[in-house]
Amino acid sequence: MKISVIGTGYVGLVTGTCFAEMGNTVTCVDIDQQKIDNLKKGIIPIYEPGLEEMVLANHKKGTLNFSTDIKAALENTTICFIAVGTPMGEDGSADLQYVLAVAKSIGTHMTHHMYVVDKSTVPVGTAEKVRQAIQAELDTRQSTLTFDVISNPEFLKEGAAIDDFMKPDRVVIGADNKNAEEVMHRLYAPFTKSHDRFIAMDIKSAEMTKYTANAMLATKISFMNEIANICERVGADVNKVRIGIGSDRRIGYSFIYPGCGYGGSCFPKDVQALAKTSKDFGYTPRILDAVEAVNYDQKSVLSNKVVARFGEDLSGKTFAVWGLAFKPETDDMREASAITIINELTQRGAKVQAYDPKARHEAESHYLKGNASVTYTDGKYDALKGADAMILVTEWKEFRSPDFDEMKALLKTSVIFDGRNQYDRAQMENLGFEYFQIGV
């Protein structure tokens, strides 16, 4: 099939690349000329395992193309995915200005029947707004062209997005007619050959499914972090509690690991957007509000432990921070706990020596730009040199089995604050570390 994908961010680039991998002809469109020029040169704007190789291979074959010309892209495609950003507005709602701007462009430039697919994460009712925006432009043109609007939410995990797209748990499609549903079924058939995971439903239910999935996962995280905070106060070990409840198949082990809060481009934004939608329709979402509140506080748990150990005034203290990205296998720092932790420490006078295998550029150029109290190192051990303590924020694989003897030799004091409960407490204490975890 011939496909256009509008937006070459995380979702758009993965979507377009994976469709091209299956033999479709794809044009990815973006208004950012520099980004498009870089993509044509093989420079990928994000880190995602396996993505660069797949982009380069399909671009070389001619099945994956990049352009800033939406008019030309639409002339040659019948299915158009909208995959632009929906940033969080000041009131917590999803900002739809970019989605609706694309819809307007589609209405302006389309020359034949089109299937317009909402791939961006959008609140319930967005498909109708997209429909209205396209139709308004067609009416202005006095055109009788027809189109379908379809909801196809993405369920990609950063760090495993290629695998998630190529071997999906499910493909959710919201359509209002069988023909549109069938077109999408044919498009996704190569991805679901071993098991038919195609789930068709009405458009509003499809839009709601995406938010509900992310809100449910965020709820599990905040719930477990709340249990961790209770465990600390009553003298229980949340790591043992996690094993005890995870063995119940009704609960399972996924997303019940205590830590220093969730971040990223999805959970924080989607929980708040769903809560805002709920309130707009006259319902107060008490659980969603609590999930967000718990997560907000959880991002300060590690810095609070540091202050309890070293005092409110951290002048003259240096802390090594391992991990900046919101999770391993990505360079994404949006809403990352490391931002909160580092800013809270440096505001108290501390200096920070930070290491992350992928997110350093994001920190330096954007998220911690201007914080003169932060320096960056090329290796994890370099960050420890002369530091008063190490703070583990992101659970990268290379942090799982470090050389603890070397760590002790490099640290000024053998103190570790573990925000992801990566190490065994008894072992750390036997090694002579003063060891702080979450929920113990």
Q: Is the pLDDT of residue 92 over 90?
A: no
pLDDT band at 289 (very low <50, low <70, confident <90, very high): very high
Stretch 425-432: mean pLDDT: 96
pLDDT attached to residue 318: 98
Q: Is 197 exposed, middle or buried (0-12, 13-18, 19+ CB in 10 A)?
A: middle
pLDDT in tens, 226-266: 999 999 999 999 999 999 999 999 999 999 999 999 999 99
What is the side-by-side strand order in the sheet with 389-392?
Answer: 374-376, 351-355, 318-322, 389-392, 415-418, 434-436
Cβ atoms 417, 323 nearer than 8 A:
no
Place of tokens 């432990």: 305
List 18, 80, 260, 266, catalytic entry: 266
Q: How many helices (H) and strands (E) does the chain have?
A: 18, 14
pLDDT in tens, 206-225: 999 999 999 999 999 999 99
Cβ atoms 102, 82 nearer than 8 A:
yes
Mean pLDDT in the chain? 97
pLDDT attached to residue 284: 98
pLDDT in tens, 117-147: 999 999 999 999 999 999 999 999 999 999 9
pTM of the complete model: 0.92
Q: Is the pLDDT of residue 194 over 80?
A: no
pLDDT in tens, 395-424: 999 999 999 999 999 999 999 999 999 999
Share of the chain above pLDDT 70, in %: 100
The HSE-up count of residue 42 (CA atoms within 13 Å, CB side) is 7
18 labelled catalytic: no
Round to whole Å and give the CA distance between 114 and 121: 21
pLDDT in tens, 290-334: 999 999 999 999 999 999 999 999 999 999 999 999 999 999 999
pLDDT attached to residue 91: 87
Q: Is the pLDDT of residue 100 over 90?
A: yes
pLDDT in tens, 169-193: 999 999 999 999 999 999 999 998 8
Stretch 53-73: mean pLDDT: 97
Share of the chain above pLDDT 90, in %: 97
Stretch 85-95: mean pLDDT: 89
Round to whole Å and give the CA distance between 126 and 117: 11
Q: Is the pLDDT of residue 196 over 80?
A: no
pLDDT attached to residue 429: 95
